[in-house]
């Protein structure tokens, strides 16, 4: 689940200064992100737990059953730490929602199956203090096996903060998912959702490799516009929301050609300039860009040059314009209702390219997808591994509900082929 996956670099006045394709940062659009609960989980945060043997000041009647007591350590402020009792045998979770060390005056939550492992509680609403007041958010909470070290719980958000944004003549859903392992209200480690507003009702893919949501980047390019995002909690109409300012950024554009078929979404991370190195970037910018690259799963061989930029292309045309620079990218493909994402076999699976104002860049990955089998001999046995391969031989994994791929082995004969064996592969 997740929680899921970009980069850094900089372009600016040092590259083709005054080029006709450069945009001007002349406008700022302000929207307020509204809290919205979801019927599915999006993201996955691991919250450390401090276990204790001593009872709390007041506890429910627990009999002689073995229970686990402790504190969920949300963020680095003790005000957000959450005492709990987990009665695993009964499938119950007691939470000290008002944080007064009394486990009898709040709520008790049950799970769907007491014998499931891990047990999942929720969606339940957890309150967090912010400088503007208390905010309650819906989550699933899954305490992990206490014998594991370090002790922890998985927390899955069932909400986002969203607004409709008009960009490039199109309406977009722009949404934020808080970092529940940090400080609620901070975008430092939050996740960002950018997709057409018409897709808002569709469930997001929660898998780790999903491109449906990406780590929050202050500088993004979508809807054929580059913009800087300033985001913070604000009081609005008697409630707490996120105020989001989108300020257009000046960028020199270059041409990107996409030759693969059925390309549904491309996410690019700018890891460096297309021309001469930029000068004057601050140590802070370099550190922020390096941290963002790490969150996207990228390792950089050279220091960051300029601010980080994430480029999101949704259902792109065969030829698009994007800011110039050196990029790493991933993409997903979709045909009808079937969608596939890149399969990470050993670490991040990124392609690379350079976009500049004069020479077009090309992405050849994507469809058509081909079913294939890799066969290896191990002694007297044959190991057959299923692969779904793209146009450049890159591996993909189908998303959503799917059937196991079938296989059959035949022996040719004069009177027809004879089936020797058949079966199905398991995904994963």
Q: Do the beta carbons of residue 74 and residue 49 sit within 8 Å?
A: no
Going by C-beta distance under 8 Å and a sequence separation of 6 or more, which residues neighbour residue 365? 260, 263, 331, 351, 390, 391, 392, 394
Clarify whether residues 70 and 163 are in a common domain. no
Omega before residue 150 within 30° of 0, cis = yes
Looking at residue 111, the DSSP 8-state letter turns out to be: B
Clarify whether residues 121 and 171 are in a common domain. no
pLDDT at 210: 76
Clarify whether residues 82 and 195 are in a common domain. no
Clarify whether residues 229 and 180 are in a common domain. yes
Clarify whether residues 355 and 227 are in a common domain. yes
Nearest to 258 by CA among 147, 390, 348: 390
* Residue 8, domain member (yes or no): no
pLDDT at 373: 85
Clarify whether residues 150 and 269 are in a common domain. no
- How many domains does the chain contain in total? 3
Q: Name residue 261's beta-bridge partners.
A: 367
Single residue among 90, 124, 156 that ends a domain in this structure:
156
* Residue 12, domain member (yes or no): no
* Residue 82, domain member (yes or no): yes
* Residue 7, domain member (yes or no): no
Q: C-alpha angle with apex 156: 151 to 158, nearest 5 degrees? A: 155
Clarify whether residues 182 and 35 are in a common domain. yes
Structure token pair of residue 29: 């659009």
pLDDT at 237: 87
Structure token pair of residue 14: 């040092």
Q: CB 292: neighbour CB atoms within 10 A?
A: 24
Single residue among 90, 123, 156 that ends a domain in this structure:
156
**What is the dihedral sign for C-alpha 195, 199, 204, 205?**
negative
* Residue 20, domain member (yes or no): no
Clarify whether residues 213 and 230 are in a common domain. yes
Residue 288, SS3?
helix
Question: What b/e string do you get for 249-280 counting C-beta neighbours within 10 Å, with b at 16 or more?
Answer: bebbbbbbebebebbbbbbbbbbbbbbeebee
Residue 277, SS3?
coil
pLDDT at 9: 35
* Residue 10, domain member (yes or no): no
Clarify whether residues 264 and 347 are in a common domain. yes
Q: Name residue 380's beta-bridge partners.
A: none
Clarify whether residues 99 and 163 are in a common domain. no
Clarify whether residues 313 and 209 are in a common domain. yes
Q: Do the beta carbons of residue 119 and residue 143 sit within 8 Å?
A: yes
pLDDT at 314: 93
Looking at residue 17, the DSSP 8-state letter turns out to be: T
Clarify whether residues 188 and 250 are in a common domain. yes
Low pLDDT (below 50) residues in the chain:
1-25, 275-280, 346-347, 428
Q: Which domain holds residue 399?
A: 371-424
């Amino acid at each position: 689940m997740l929680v899921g996956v970009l980069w850094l670099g900089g372009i600016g006045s040092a590259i083709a200064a005054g080029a006709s394709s450069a945009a001007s940062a002349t406008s700022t659009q302000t929207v307020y992100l509204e809290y919205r609960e979801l019927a599915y989980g999006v993201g996955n945060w691991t919250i450390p737990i401090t276990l204790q043997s001593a009872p709390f000041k007041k506890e429910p009647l627990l009999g002689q059953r073995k229970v686990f007591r402790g504190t969920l350590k949300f963020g680095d402020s003790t005000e957000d730490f959450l005492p709990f009792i987990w009665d695993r045998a009964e499938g119950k979770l007691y939470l000290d929602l008002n944080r007064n060390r009394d486990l009898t005056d709040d709520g008790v939550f049950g799970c769907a199956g007491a014998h499931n492992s891990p047990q999942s509680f929720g969606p339940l609403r957890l309150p967090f203090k912010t400088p503007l007041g208390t905010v309650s958010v819906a989550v699933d909470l899954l305490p992990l096996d206490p014998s594991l070290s370090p002790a922890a719980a998985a927390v899955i958000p069932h909400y986002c903060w969203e607004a409709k944004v008009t960009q490039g003549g199109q309406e977009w859903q722009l949404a934020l998912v808080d970092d529940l392992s940090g400080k609620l209200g901070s975008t430092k480690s939050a996740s960002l959702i950018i997709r057409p507003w018409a897709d808002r009702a569709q469930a997001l893919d929660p898998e780790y490799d999903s491109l449906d949501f990406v780590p929050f980047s202050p500088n993004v390019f979508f809807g054929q516009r580059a913009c800087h995002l300033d985001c913070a909690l604000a009081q609005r109409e008697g409630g707490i929301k996120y105020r989001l300012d989108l300020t257009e950024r000046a960028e020199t554009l270059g041409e990107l050609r996409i030759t693969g078929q059925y390309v549904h979404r491309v996410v690019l991370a700018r890891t460096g300039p297309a021309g001469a190195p930029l000068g004057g970037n601050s140590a802070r910018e370099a550190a922020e860009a390096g941290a963002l690259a790490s969150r996207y799963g990228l390792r950089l061989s050279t220091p960051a040059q300029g601010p980080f930029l994430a480029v999101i292309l949704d259902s792109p045309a065969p030829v698009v314009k994007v800011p110039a620079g050196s990029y790493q990218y991933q993409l997903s493909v979709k045909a009808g209702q079937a969608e596939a994402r890149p399969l990470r076999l050993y670490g991040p699976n990124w392609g690379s390219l350079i976009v500049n104002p004069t020479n077009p860049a090309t992405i050849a990955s994507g469809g058509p997808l081909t079913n294939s089998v890799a066969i290896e001999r191990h002694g007297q046995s044959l190991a057959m591994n299923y692969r779904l391969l793209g146009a450049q031989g890159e591996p993909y994994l189908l998303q959503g509900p799917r059937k196991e791929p079938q296989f059959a082995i035949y022996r040719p004969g004069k009177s027809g082929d004879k089936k020797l064996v058949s079966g199905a592969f398991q995904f994963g």
